[in-house]
Structure 1
Amino acid sequence: MQFKNWSVSKKIWVLLFGVLALTLAAGFGMTTYIGRVEAQVRSEIQNYESRIRLAVQWRGVA
């Protein structure tokens, strides 16, 4: 069956499901990306905090 022989309602439903699938895929991708960015930022913040604690500790020694 050719695409141009489909009824208009079928074409609209296919388009709707296609857009829905792309939206879900984009949402999943963004959730994964945000999770990775959050983990990286958390690691950097912990590194900064450990450096600050070390600086304060050395300041107290000197």
Structure 2
Amino acid sequence: MPRRVPRRVTVASDGPLLVEGPVEVVMEDGTVVTSDRFCVALCTCRRTLRPPFCDTSHRRRKRD
């Protein structure tokens, strides 16, 4: 049996969860979303337009 290497998850208080990829995410409705990127940002604020992935919608944009 191959040795399992744990995935690293980085938690930031004001941002997404950063997960070393590739990853499979099981959504609430049971669908599976995959990403083969080396690092995946998972949204924690639910403002994203691309769930479960972060699209930086949590950032406040200042007007000039």
Under TM normalisation by the shorter chain, which class is it? Answer: under 0.3
More strand by share: 2
Taking structure 1 as the reference length, the TM-score comes to: 0.26
Taking structure 2 as the reference length, the TM-score comes to: 0.25
More helix by share: 1
- Whose Rg is larger? 1
Q: Which has the higher contact order (CA 8 A, sep 6+)?
A: 2
